[in-house]
Structure 1
Amino acid sequence: MTANIMGRTICALGDAASMPVQSFVKHFGAEFEYHIENKSASCRRKCSARAVKST
């Protein structure tokens, strides 16, 4: 979704607003996936292992 916003808006706020979201997904994507799949935010050990594998 953020790729559709970056560089396609007249207002610079569109670009600025999408940058943190891209960074969160890049660095914490495993945590987001775990929370969505398990309806729980306790993901420390499992997500850290997945994040290391994906980078």
Structure 2
Amino acid sequence: MLEVARYVQRGKKEGGLVDLAYVVHMAREKSVRAVLTQVASLDDILREEPRVIRVEE
């Protein structure tokens, strides 16, 4: 399970859509991909394919 450090939701787009970004603590790539697969199946919520931006220290 991923532990969410914070999330950000910014403004509304046309049609009432919003961007939502989750920042998670250090996690295995496999775990992140598994969660993205679950999120991608949420047809009533998701309008675009989820994306990952990896940040390494």
- For normalisation by structure 2, the TM-score amounts to 0.30
| Larger RCO, structure (CA 8 Å, separation 6 or more) | 2
User: Which structure: greater strand fraction?
Assistant: 2
Higher Rg = 1
